[in-house]
Structure 1
């Protein structure tokens, strides 16, 4: 530790012993997500078959609103500021304290992010469900807002998620936008009434699903060398780059490396851009992650001047600056939060 950080909660915090409340909260989050994404669409189809006269009109009205009137909402900034209403409430529920306790979670701010700029918060590593981001940022909004005041957090997710009824509304209420290029550009070029950058901080998991397939306990292998799109995006929008590392992310599950599911995932990744986790969790339960300690460290911003049509040389130069800043952040905290590593962070692709 450098001594200039702000850590929430403090590192000497005594968490409750592992208990059923913590495990229930983690399982609730996982199963709620799976229920909404998988079961709800099937339930809608079943109700449509059983009660077409009643269900069809409601579906037509909902479809016209969600996929017609609001069809581009996720690409044009989403539902806007989420620091009010059900989105804020759901992200600040007390139940999330049990979620964080299960992972002994901490968020570390190494430097302030001044208002009056837009930021691209680059998340490493992907892990399975980016649990560090969920525990310390997405469902810890009150603390995040205290650490980075006057900024509006936006989270990115696959466009496909906004096609699922109810799931799209949950995501939009929490400040989510599509990960498509036009959606990212919209948020990162947004201005306030004075014509200044709006103060958005947009999360982006740079390694994406491909990085999940590299995860092993006590390692941090990243897909970054071949990623240039996020750097070009920062240049064309003038958004500052901010590195984020969650130590312990890859320790939350052990990944199966053989079997039919591995082959299925190769197909899914190629054509649908997502994968089905092949996991072994706590007590062999694929749905229950291991209680790994998750420490999310957010680095200092890398200032980026806007360049309308950056050359390959300019993109590569900024990419190198980012990689150097990421390794500096890693080296500064690896001996505090990654003591059980079997090797240091690597850029493997």
Structure 2
């Protein structure tokens, strides 16, 4: 039976839903729509507009790996406040960070977006400090295990961010976001199943994971691609001091990686009770 949303939903909740809906569209369909618009312009009488855009794209190609364009005007849009309040999202910092240093935040659980080495190097090599590179360490494969109640992290063999921290002397900060995996359900795909084999193969070919996720809709609560209204508690841990080593040895990398896993476990164990995680539930590193 379909559970429809009531008609008397407060305006603030409707605005929150609209804010998340635009994010879903941007994530799943904006690139395709822009590409279609470009092609239509290119084959129409407005082909000069497409040509000018292609020229600007060529000249602007390196901007994403050079810090992008920070816009305080865009950052101040109220849509982000509505987006935050939909779940809601709460950020907790355990210590104050030194603004004169650069940091790598190892974000858990799961990611769907790859991190560019050139972009990370640009941020972390800036001598004035005050820069943070956030890396979803688990990457695409981890998203295939993301489902409510799961605490399985793809991190045992993820050491590129450790090497990057050593090369630039950037401080490592473990970050865990409680509630991330509660936002969507995912069709069962245990390791070895036909579905998981197909997903793994597509991930190797395309470079991105294709989890079959679902949650609720805009006007009903039974099915759809809108995330559930589940609170998210993102906890930023204590920085791990990293010595600058332009050419780190494998021993240096292994040692720092071990420390990072220990700090990540301590962060999870120290805050899990605030989110209602059972005492017998622990992180699993794969």
Q: If the TM-score is normalised by the length of the shorter chain, which range does it land in? A: 0.7 to 0.9
Q: Secondary structure at the match of 1:19?
A: helix
The superposition leaves residues 137-180 of structure 1 with CA deviations (integer Å, 9 ceiling, x where unpaired) of xxxxxxxxxxxxxxxxxxxx54xxxxxxxxxxxxxxxxxxxx22
Distance 1:260 1:92 in 2: 46
> Shift in Å at residue 323 of structure 1?
0.7
Distance 1:39 1:73 in 2: 22
Which position in structure 2 is the counterpart of 1:124? 108
Which position in structure 2 is the counterpart of 1:269? 203
Distance 2:278 2:182 in 1: 10
Which position in structure 1 is the counterpart of 2:7? none
Q: Secondary structure at the match of 2:29?
A: helix
Which position in structure 2 is the counterpart of 1:113? 97
Which position in structure 2 is the counterpart of 1:64? 55
Which position in structure 2 is the counterpart of 1:279? 213
- Kept in 2, the 8 Å contact 1:248–1:338? The answer is no
Q: Secondary structure at the match of 1:275?
A: coil
Distance 1:246 1:216 in 2: 14
Which position in structure 2 is the counterpart of 1:22? 16
> Shift in Å at residue 235 of structure 1?
0.3
* Mapping for residues 207-222 of structure 1, pairs under 5 Å: 207-222=138-153
Question: Residues 214 and 35 (structure 1 numbering): CA distance in 2 closer, same or farther, change over 3 Å?
Answer: closer
Which position in structure 1 is the counterpart of 2:186? 255
> Shift in Å at residue 203 of structure 1?
0.8
Q: Does 1:32 align with 2:26?
A: yes
Distance 2:278 2:84 in 1: 21
Which position in structure 2 is the counterpart of 1:45? 39
Q: Does 1:228 align with 2:155?
A: no
Which position in structure 2 is the counterpart of 1:331? 269
Q: Does 1:188 align with 2:124?
A: yes
Structure 2 unpaired stretches of 5+: 1-9
> Shift in Å at residue 210 of structure 1?
0.8
The superposition leaves residues 3-32 of structure 1 with CA deviations (integer Å, 9 ceiling, x where unpaired) of xxxxxxxxxxxxx99933322221122113
- Kept in 2, the 8 Å contact 1:109–1:298? The answer is yes
* Mapping for residues 148-187 of structure 1, pairs under 5 Å: 157-158=113-114, 179-187=115-123
Which position in structure 1 is the counterpart of 2:3? none
Question: Residues 19 and 73 (structure 1 numbering): CA distance in 2 closer, same or farther, change over 3 Å?
Answer: closer
> Shift in Å at residue 218 of structure 1?
1.6
Q: Does 1:203 align with 2:134?
A: yes
Which position in structure 1 is the counterpart of 2:176? 245
Question: Residues 269 and 284 (structure 1 numbering): CA distance in 2 closer, same or farther, change over 3 Å?
Answer: farther
Question: Residues 75 and 21 (structure 1 numbering): CA distance in 2 closer, same or farther, change over 3 Å?
Answer: closer
Question: Residues 280 and 35 (structure 1 numbering): CA distance in 2 closer, same or farther, change over 3 Å?
Answer: closer
> Shift in Å at residue 65 of structure 1?
2.1
The superposition leaves residues 33-86 of structure 1 with CA deviations (integer Å, 9 ceiling, x where unpaired) of 33321212112213333x1x422x22222222212x22222233333xx2xxxx
Q: Does 1:318 align with 2:249?
A: no
Q: Secondary structure at the match of 2:51?
A: helix
- Please report the RMSD computed on the Cα atoms of aligned residues, expressed in angstroms: 2.4
- Kept in 2, the 8 Å contact 1:219–1:343? The answer is no
Distance 2:195 2:37 in 1: 26
Which position in structure 1 is the counterpart of 2:46? 54
- Kept in 2, the 8 Å contact 1:121–1:242? The answer is yes
